[in-house]
Structure 1
Amino acid sequence: MRAYYFDNVPGDQRLPHDSGKSVLLEKLSALGVHYWSIPVSPSGEPDEEAVDRIARERDYKNRDVIDVSRQGLGAAYESKIKMFFEEHMHEDEEIRYILAGSGFFDVREHPTDNWIRIAMHPGDMIVLPAGIYHRFTLDEADRIRAMRLFKDEPKWTPYNRGHETDANPIRGEYLRAIGVGA
């Protein structure tokens, strides 16, 4: 995992868009983002023991695996990639453990509202807190295979950024948790 400020230069969202300004893990942690490095086997198999330990600690009860690629998503590929890159939040944590491929999660820094880009590769596990504005895109390799973990039944309803979402109680809880207020 490598984090840095997004350069905001127009162009393909799958490019690195690296401003050259790195972001430390402590900054991500202050935003409520959690990170683990959990090795993946050469064949792309997860370290089930490590994942199970984290799942117990954080009360994750369900999981699945998604292949975000042209092959994996078929006819829905273009619409899904567009949807994933819309700035949004969820009312639940978003947990991803990268098994193969690579991609980017972008999260909003507060109070600046700058984008922080997080480059993810096999073995990276990230938890985005409920209420954080974020987006996702593949990189130029155009494929990622990830395990998704859930506290309860799988939910990933996106709430696109706007006045109504800014007023969402989960968004307010998130802002209070990071010390920004609501």
Structure 2
Amino acid sequence: MRAYYFDNEPTDQRLPHDYDPSRPVDVETLGKIGVLYWKVPVEGYLPEIDAIAAKRNYKNRDTINVTKEGLGDQYEAKIKSFFEEHMHEDEEIRYILSGSGYFDVREHPKDQWVRIAVAPGDLLVLPAGIYHRFTLDTENKIQALRLFKDEPKWTPLNRSSETDGNTHRIDYRGYHI
């Protein structure tokens, strides 16, 4: 995992979008905005993932393949929807099994994008209420284990004045100021 401030240049979203020189963001700063991170080697990962899941009450899981082959006719629409700025009313938990991509999160209260480059072995937890988005990198493929506290669901709430008033967003802002 490597995190840094996103340069906001209007080019391909799959490019690194890093400043030159880079403006890195450390794990401690991510923690202040509620983003949690673990490095869990993919080989033999199951016992450690199971332990983290038990400790954090993640009861369900599934695997997603974000590739043209894995998503078929839905590929373009899914890639577009993943990159729309949104929040969830639940944590978003992803453990990267193969491939790579980027999670962009809004640093609160500055509202700047922080880009988090993820690769195999990275476990990322985004808190409920944080504005974020996801994109593949130029390799165009990622396989991730998704963990859930309850039944698997992925309901994005795109950023708007309505989501700004969502109780999960308000709770997030109140906690991460």
CA-CA distance at 1:177 after TM superposition: 1.4
Partner in structure 2 of residue 33 of structure 1: 35
After superposition, residues 1-182 of structure 1 pair within 5 angstroms as: 1-19=1-19, 20-41=22-43, 47-178=45-176, 180=177
Q: Which amino acid in structure 2 is aligned with residue 3 of structure 1? A: A
Q: Which amino acid in structure 2 is aligned with residue 56 of structure 1? A: A
- Equivalent-residue separation in structure 2 for 1:66 and 1:128 (angstroms): 17
**Contact 1:92/1:155 (CA < 8 Å) preserved in 2?**
no
Q: Which amino acid in structure 1 is aligned with residue 31 of structure 2? A: S
Alignment length (residue pairs): 175
CA-CA distance at 1:156 after TM superposition: 1.1
Q: Percent identity?
A: 64
| 1:1-45 deviation per Cα after TM superposition (whole angstroms, max 9, x unaligned) | 00000000111000000111000111100000000000012xxxx
Q: Which amino acid in structure 2 is aligned with residue 33 of structure 1? A: V
- Equivalent-residue separation in structure 1 for 2:80 and 2:104 (angstroms): 14
CA root-mean-square deviation:
0.7
| Unpaired runs of at least 5, structure 1 | none
- What is the TM-score when the length of structure 2 is the normalising length? 0.98
**Aligned-partner SS, 1:22:** coil
**Aligned-partner SS, 1:174:** helix
- Equivalent-residue separation in structure 2 for 1:169 and 1:9 (angstroms): 32
Runs of 4+ residues over 4 Å off in structure 1: none
- Equivalent-residue separation in structure 2 for 1:166 and 1:82 (angstroms): 22
- Equivalent-residue separation in structure 2 for 1:30 and 1:58 (angstroms): 18
| Unpaired runs of at least 5, structure 2 | none
CA-CA distance at 1:102 after TM superposition: 0.1
